[in-house]
Amino acid sequence: MEKKPRAIKDKRYEEKHKAERKAKNATWGTSVPREKSEQINAFLDKYGYTKVQLIEAGYKALLDDAGERNLSLGKDK
């Protein structure tokens, strides 16, 4: 199967900018049980949230919780 010109350009672009993307973003290779991931995805779809928003809100909640348990944690930054 022959690649279309757009696919070839996209691949070249991705290869050229791979290091830049890796320096700018992190990807966590993690697994969540299927049932839980389906529940999370349904929630995100229903309320229009993204997975990034979920991670950011969870991180903030954990920082707040850590700050309440130990004042030297969390809210310093």
pTM for the structure as a whole: 0.62
Task: Indicate the domain borders of the chain.
Answer: 5-69
pLDDT of residue 72: 64
* Residue 7 neighbours by CB distance under 10 Å: 10
CA distance linking residue 15 with residue 3, whole number of Å: 16
Q: What share of the chain in percent tops pLDDT 70?
A: 87
Q: Is the pLDDT of residue 60 over 80?
A: yes
Residue 70, CA atoms < 13 Å, CB-side half-sphere: 5
Q: Is the pLDDT of residue 1 over 70?
A: no
